[in-house]
Amino acid sequence: MDSNAQLTHNLMRELEETRRQLYEAREIIEAIRTGQVDALVVQNGSIHELYTLKTADHAYRVFIEKMTEGALTLSPNGIILYANSRFSDMIGLPLSTIIGLPFEQFIAENDRPFYRKLFKLSWKGDAKGEVDIFYKHHRTPVQLSLTALELAEGTSLSIIITDLTLQKATQRKLEENNRQLEHLNHTLEDSNHDLQQFASVASHDLQEPLRKIQIFSNLLRIKSADNLTNDEIAYLEKIIGSADRMKSLIIEILNYSRLSADDSEFLPTDLNLVLKELLEDFELLIADKKAKVLNYGLPVLEVNRGQIRQVFQNLISNALKFSKNDMPPVIEIRSKWLADKSFTSSEQETGPFCLLTISDNGIGFDEKYATIVFSLFQRLHPKDSFEGTGIGLAITKKIIEKHHGLIQVKSAVGVGTQFMIILPLKQIANGQSS
């Protein structure tokens, strides 16, 4: 009886234990069903076993399915264990037929040795490389990014496949653009060479016949003056005048084109001396116009002396030329140091830049022409009222640019004109010091 009672008692305890376990199991199933649990740890004898749930990486699976890259998992011998649908799109095969195939068969034949190297490398660490995926006459350039994964089920290789079709197209376009640029560069070099050729032609071959026109018209005027009517003499004067004008045009075009040749030599130069010398050349014209040229002090700057002289010459001769008939011209030349290469810069004692201003009280011009006056052959006045070639200010601007400076002009009709020039104190990269 004792043993029966004992047995019943044991069975009851066992039943109780089983009920408790069943209850726990139900609780767990409920927790799993409602998504409260990602993983289970179960004590099995002396070891703990970890069970992860398929639902836990559901988000990642969706993510991988939807991403724009192809994604694969390969077995250690290169068989496709998993592929996302982007990869199936890439090669144009349904997912069901891809699983179980060796990935290598989708690699273009000439890229296979490289792929094998990548594959081998990737087990030791992340590897990346570009290959072509090729299937059914369809070739796609891709980047492979291989990462070995240690998973509970064993080792596998994950591959992310980035389609490079667009990138390659962009690259090709870029290369094509580069080629075109190179071609343009050659054309530019050629036309630069042509310009130099033109300069040499202009210097002699154009001037020789022109000189003949000048000298023979001069001869005609002297020798036949008595036999010519006033009209005929006037025609002859026009021929001589036009020929003289053409001569100065050719000379100025030559001066302009010679500025293109990079032969600037910048040396510290006292601009006061440059101006003084120049004013001696203008002596007659200044006296004739009863002009006053006032120099309030110029600095010593690193410049090409001949070119800067040309700048002063062009600006001062303009100021004398475009003066008012009823008022003697007054030309004022000033300078101040600047902190920056800008017309709005603040003053700075012996700053790295210098602002030169050359202002006159002449006829001025409408401010709307302030930029175009620097263009080649740009004139604001008819040839018969003011002589000139329309090259002077273009040369001036080019010289200032060669000196890494800035030039601008302000003007008002009937008030006067002011040229402002910014030049650096020192020329950087002065490779041609003598």
- Contact residues: other proteins, CB under 8 A: 203-204, 207-208, 211-212, 214-215, 218-219, 222, 254
The H or E element spanning position 212 is helix 207-224
Q: Which of 216, 235 has the CB closer to other proteins? A: 216
Q: Of 314, 310, 341, nearest to 423 (Cα)?
A: 341
Gyration radius from the chain CA atoms: 45
Q: Of the candidates 316, 308, 330, 333, which has an alpha carbon nearest to the alpha carbon of residue 395? A: 308
**Count of alpha carbons within 13 angstroms of residue 172, beta-carbon side:** 7
CB of residue 421 vs other proteins: minimum separation in angstroms?
25
CA distances from 132 to 77, 91, 126, 129, 231 (A): 20, 11, 19, 10, 86
Measured from the CB of residue 386, what is the shortest distance to other proteins in angstroms? Answer: 24
In the complex, the smallest distance separating the C-beta of residue 305 from other proteins, rounded to whole angstroms, is 13
Residue with Cβ nearer other proteins (222 or 287): 222
Closest distance to other proteins from the beta carbon of 207 (Å): 5
Token reading at 383: 């040839």
Q: Residue 214 or residue 318: which is nearer to other proteins going by CB? A: 214
CB nearer to other proteins: pick between 208 and 283 = 208
What tokens appear for 360 in the block?
Answer: 């006159």
Cβ 417 to other proteins, closest distance in Å?
31
Amino acid at 173: K
Smallest gap from residue 392 Cβ to other proteins (A): 19
CA quadruple 70, 71, 75, 80: dihedral sign: negative
Q: Minimal distance in Å, beta carbon 397 to other proteins?
A: 22
Helix (H, G, I), strand (E, B) or coil at 332: strand
Within a 10 A sphere around the Cβ of 98, how many other Cβ atoms?
18
Compare residues 28 and 251 and give the one whose CB is closer to other proteins: 251
DSSP 263: -
Nearer to other proteins, 109 or 263 (CB): 263
CB of 121 or CB of 254, closer to other proteins: 254
CB proximity list for 124: less than 8 A, separation 6 or greater: 148
Question: Least distance to other proteins from the beta carbon of 381, Å?
Answer: 27
| Nearer CB in complex with other proteins: 207/295 | 207
Complex with other proteins: residue 7 or 219, whichever CB lies closer: 219
Q: How far is the CB of 407 from other proteins (least distance, A)?
A: 25
Comparing CA positions, the residue from 164, 104, 119 lying closest to residue 140 is 164
DSSP for 137-198? TEEEEEEEEEEEEEETTEEEEEEEEEE-HHHHHHHHHHHHHHHHHHHHHHHHHHHHHHHHHH
Count CB atoms within 10 A of the CB of residue 330: 16
